[in-house]
């Protein structure tokens, strides 16, 4: 399996910009737009993910609204498999299944189309093998809810993948699937 050298990791990490106090005071926002518009860093990242997941026998990539769509759809195209969006409540037009998760104050909700992975989530006569992807894992609430959605529609979340993990928040502990992150802070 491919490994990134510390130098290559540093190159990708340094292409991500930190915006202090966005969207509210105290948050260090990790802005991946500066990674996306750096063709060398973006290609190195996507080459790594393609190499890692080529042997996973995946049927679909599911990406979390909205930055997970960018990495997820590029990876799906490279692996020659389908892409499925997991969206914030009220955005998907067909029949959906939804899952709530807690925020600091209140809750949020993510949704998926009921037939996103085929009827009953079945693909090649077994539960579809799905990789969940997002740009960043913080508390893990969003990804945990998204992984539950994949199970709810009958498919199997074989791994959750993030470009960047804020390890001090221990978000991976709440996720009921293997977790992989390319970069850690």
Catalytic residues: 67, 104
Which conformational region is residue 173 in: left (phi greater than 0), alpha (psi within -120 to 50 degrees), or beta? alpha
The DSSP bridge partners found for residue 108 are 101
Query: In the 8-state DSSP scheme, what is residue 34?
Result: H
Contact 75, 133 (CB under 8 A): yes
Alpha-carbon distance of 35 to 43, in angstroms, equals 10
**Binding residues for ligand AMP (CB under 6 A):** 27-30, 64, 67, 134-143, 171
């Amino acid at each position: 399996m491919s490994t990134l050298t510390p130098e290559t990791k540093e190159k990708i990490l340094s292409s991500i910009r930190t915006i202090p106090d966005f969207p509210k005071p105290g948050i260090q926002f990790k802005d991946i737009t500066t990674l996306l518009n750096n063709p060398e860093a973006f290609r190195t990242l996507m080459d790594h993910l393609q190499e890692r997941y080529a042997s996973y026998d995946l049927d679909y990539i599911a990406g979390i609204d909205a930055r997970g769509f960018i990495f997820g759809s590029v990876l799906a195209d490279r692996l020659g498999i389908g892409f499925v969006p997991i969206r914030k409540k009220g955005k998907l037009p067909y029949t959906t299944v939804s899952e709530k998760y807690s925020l600091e104050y209140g809750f949020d909700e993510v949704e998926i189309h009921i037939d996103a992975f085929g009827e009953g989530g079945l693909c090649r006569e077994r539960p579809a093998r799905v990789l969940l992807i997002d740009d960043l894992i913080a508390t893990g609430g969003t990804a945990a809810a998204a992984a539950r959605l994949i199970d709810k529609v009958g498919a199997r979340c074989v791994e959750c993948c993030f470009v960047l993990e804020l390890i001090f928040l221990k978000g991976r502990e709440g996720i009921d699937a293997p977790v992989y992150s390319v970069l850690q802070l």
